[in-house]
Amino acid sequence: MITERISWQQQAHQYLVKAEYNKAANLYEEAIVAEPNILSHYWNLGLLLLLQGQETEAQMTWMLPIAEAEEKQIQILTTDLLKVLETEAERRETLAEYSLIWLIRQHIREINPDDINNLLKIILLSVELEKFEGIELSECGVLKLLRVKQNLDLNIELLPQVLQAVLNTVPFHPASLELVEVCLPYFSNPEDCFSVLLLAAMKIGHTLKQPALAARILELYLHLDAHNVEILRHLATFHQDSNNYSQGIETAKLCYSLSPELPDKIFALHLVLRGLMMAGGYWEKVCSYCLELESLLQEYIQAQPLPLDEVRTLRLLTPSFAIPHIKDCPVDFRTIQNQMSKIFQKNIRAIAQEQAKRYSQRIIDNKRLVISAKTLKIGYLSHAFRQHSVGWLARWIFQHHDRKKFKIYNYFANYQLVDDWLQEWYVNQASQAHKLGMNGLEIAEKIYQDEIDILVDLDSITLDISCEVMALKPAPIQVTWLGWDVSGIPAIDYFIADPYVLPNSVQDYYTEKIWRLPQTYIAVDGFEVGVPTLRREELNIPADAVVYLSAQRGYKRHPETTRWQMKIIKEVPNSYFLIKGSSEEEAIKRFFYKIAEEEEVERSRLCFLPNVPLESVHRANLGIADVVLDTYPYNGATTTLETLWMGIPLVTRVGQQFAARNSYTMMMNAGITEGIAWTNEEYVEWGIRLGKDATLRQQIAGKLRQSRATAPLWNGKQFTREMEKAYEQMWQRYLTTR
């Protein structure tokens, strides 16, 4: 009898494996008739009915023996049934039959709703089947069970998997954050969830543009490991990006105090400066920390450090970005920057040695060929192909490119998973668009595989992974344009400029060859302008008042420049000063009020404006101003172009460094010299003169309106032809310098 049972059970299992469920069910039905007291027959028959979609019949089959059992036997019978279902679910996992596994586990849940491991597996399956919405975390009882934490037979290996799946799928659902909170006490070793939460926070904060939520996730992690420096680094950034400046600054200071090694101290100090400068108004602290930063950078350069790992190397260049905001001394700054960039490139090439060697070899091989008559492949690399200053300004070269002569490739670093029409516009402008993440080595390899001839970086040191790509030199010719002053990476060949923004004398302290276009290094065909939302009467400003405006982020607020601005306001009767730009409200008010008091300017003449959500409305609102006062030593760029496009007179102080000459070149290329100051005194004089002379303001506005039809600054097509000519000349020079 036993032998016969084994034989038909084997046959039934073979039917099950072959998915011949009806045949297997028939065998178990016969077995129940022959052996009604063998309860496993009922469990297996019910399973087979379930697999055929007969859920009600399956439940009735399972319940039949359980209903007739004594109370003390019910638990034993239920356990046996669950073993059968669990065994089949696990078998299906090897076959990746997720729909069937999900079905079986749902019935396990009905039988034993407190099986936490089964519930966690259901969540993973729901994610895999793309049917998970987040509400299931509450509905299935997972959160409640994990929060109770009593006698849970928990498979701890499931928790990181579930956290990763949920945070990737429904990061914004309130239950997702609650899941993180209730899971953390189960990790005896913080490292078990470190990478999961950090990667999720980076995606949420940077790619999905929700830094406040990313900060909340990392704050929860700190309950496990309060002094984890890596977490603190990112947490400081997310706090600052979500305008929680004070918390971001304090977190950065803690990170600095916990960083024992020089490279880590440099980056932590950068985070402190970043928070202080974004907030605006903390000038004395900024100057103090900036001096300390320069000292640390010099110490690092002198130490001739050994190669670092990739992550720490990527943090070498960004810190120096603060210095040009503080002082206009390009010789000193570029000396430090070029040395740091040289170390950076050396480290990156040591880390990706094989990759860099392949790239160099192909450049050598290509130089042996003469390929002059060809369609050039131009690759553009940036994280700012979106609603961003660079994104607004770079549009015209893509619109006007000659597609017969050039094949355009766009490389989106950290492609944003958000609704951004301008980002999608850039996708559609390229012959090929690559939506990439934050891995510089992968981006470089994609550029290399595409066999790009000229790679144009629009980020410079504002993005570390773009610097990593450029250091590896995946293209034979590499160019920096638009994003910022150059990084100083030796692998970059050219920096696009013009005769005004960088005079001939500066080449001595640039490692890149400065390639000057004949007129302007940037041109736009115009800007979208919406409906203004600012009215003088709403701001309690008289209709006949003279309105000055400065619209810059806290980064650019320098006390010396602000003092000039207050001198102007003081000397122009019935004048008001509108101040706008992302910053910490109370800190920036204290900053301006203090200088106003020192210069004997009434607070009532200062008005702080909130940001508006749409760029087109921001531009329309510029029209409230009679005169715009630029910042120094870091000028406006996009804001200057917008001011000139709106026909508003501008006062700018021309300096020595690239960042202090942007407004100068833009005004010259718009045909305007009125308002260009070469000294501090001239800045004040121009500000007063433009405020008092309404006729002069009208003349400038008229010239700016006329310039739209004639000036190089507003001729994107002509500018594109000049850029294309530069590309062709770069290519010919490359071919002839073998």
Q: Which two tokens stand for residue 313?
A: 């190397």
Mean pLDDT, the chain, whole residue set: 94
Tens-digit pLDDT profile for residues 259-301: 989 999 999 999 999 999 999 999 999 999 999 999 999 999 9
Closest CA to 195 of 169, 218, 219: 218
Average pLDDT over residues 475-482: 97
Which residues, 6+ apart, have CB-to-CB distance to 261 below 8 Å? none
For the cut 60, the answer to whether the pLDDT of residue 3 exceeds it is no
Q: Cα–Cα distances in Å, from 549 out to 301, 582, 627, 631, 691?
A: 42, 15, 6, 11, 12
Question: Residue 1: what pLDDT?
Answer: 47
Closest CA to 234 of 188, 203, 263, 261: 203
Long-range contact pairs involving 708-711 (C-beta distance under 8 Å, separation at least 24) = 708/526, 708/645, 710/671, 711/669, 711/670, 711/671
- CATH architecture entry for 352-516: 3-Layer(aba) Sandwich (3.40)
Give CATH 3.40.50.11380 domain extents, the chain: 352-516
For the cut 90, the answer to whether the pLDDT of residue 391 exceeds it is yes
For the cut 60, the answer to whether the pLDDT of residue 4 exceeds it is no
Which residues, 6+ apart, have CB-to-CB distance to 561 below 8 Å? 631, 632, 653, 683
Tens-digit pLDDT profile for residues 95-104: 999 999 999 9
CATH topology of domain 1-112: 1.25.40
Name the region of 173 (left: φ>0; alpha: ψ -120 to 50; beta: rest).
beta
Question: Residue 649: what pLDDT?
Answer: 98
Measured at the CA of 234, the angle between CA 232 and CA 240, to 5 degrees, comes to 100
Q: Domain 537-713 class? A: alpha beta
Lowest-confidence range among 8-22, 337-351, 390-404, 579-593?
Answer: 8-22
d(CA 187, CA 252): 26
**Residue 588 contacts residue 608 (beta carbons within 8 Å):** yes
For the cut 80, the answer to whether the pLDDT of residue 501 exceeds it is yes
What is the phi/psi pair of residue 270, to 5°?
-60, -40
Q: Which two tokens stand for residue 721?
A: 């032809």
For the cut 60, the answer to whether the pLDDT of residue 2 exceeds it is no
Note the residue count of the chain: 738
Closest CA to 475 of 577, 621, 362: 362
Q: Cα–Cα distances in Å, from 144 out to 90, 102, 176?
A: 26, 21, 13
Tens-digit pLDDT profile for residues 328-384: 999 999 999 999 999 999 999 999 999 999 999 887 777 666 566 689 999 999 999
Give CATH 1.25.40 domain extents, the chain: 1-112
Tens-digit pLDDT profile for residues 638-689: 999 999 999 999 999 999 999 999 999 999 999 999 999 999 999 999 999 9
Sign of the CA dihedral running 166, 170, 171, 174: negative
List strands edge to edge, sheet with 432-435.
432-435, 406-412, 376-382, 454-457, 477-480, 494-497, 513-516
Q: Which two tokens stand for residue 611?
A: 């940001």
Tens-digit pLDDT profile for residues 249-268: 999 999 999 998 999 999 99
Average pLDDT over residues 455-470: 95
Q: How far is CA 237 from the centre of its chain?
A: 11
**Residue 635 contacts residue 666 (beta carbons within 8 Å):** no
d(CA 625, CA 577): 9
Average pLDDT over residues 131-136: 94
Whether the ω angle into residue 633 lies within 30 degrees of 0, i.e. cis, is yes
DSSP state of 171: T
The alpha-helical segments, DSSP class H, found in 352-479 are 353-367, 389-393, 395-400, 421-429, 440-449, 464-472
Look up the pTM and report it: 0.90
For the cut 90, the answer to whether the pLDDT of residue 593 exceeds it is yes
DSSP state of 506: G
Around Cβ 275, how many Cβ atoms within 10 Å? 25
d(CA 312, CA 332): 24
Tens-digit pLDDT profile for residues 542-561: 999 999 999 999 999 999 99
d(CA 455, CA 450): 11
**Residues linked to residue 653 through DSSP beta bridges, in sequence order:** 677
Average pLDDT over residues 432-456: 97
d(CA 312, CA 305): 12
Average pLDDT over residues 724-731: 97
Give CATH 3.40.50.2000 domain extents, the chain: 537-713
**Residue 244 contacts residue 215 (beta carbons within 8 Å):** yes
Around Cβ 729, how many Cβ atoms within 10 Å? 11
Type of residue found at 118: N
Scanning the structure block, which residue is given the tokens 């880390």?
Answer: 351
For the cut 50, the answer to whether the pLDDT of residue 159 exceeds it is yes
* b/e per residue 215-238 (b: at least 16 CB within 10 A): bbbbbbbeebbeebbebbbbbbbb
